[in-house]
Amino acid sequence: GAGEMIQMAGIAVKMGATKEQFDATCAVHPTMAEELVTMSKPVRVA
């Protein structure tokens, strides 16, 4: 959500990235944090 976007924008600003460089990035979804939450649920295969 917004947290990932804010982090990405903050890092880009801190490293002095240009708008062209920022536009060339690709945000990955779902994030690793989102996937770790789903790992706590057991999966049963019939």
Q: Which of 14, 19, 29, 41 is catalytic?
A: 29
Q: How far apart are CA 36 and CA 32, in angstroms?
A: 6
Measured in whole angstroms, the distance separating CA 13 from the mean position of its chain's CA atoms is 17
Known active-site residue 29: yes
- ∠ CA 14-35-32, rounded to 5°: 25
Residues acting as catalytic residues:
29
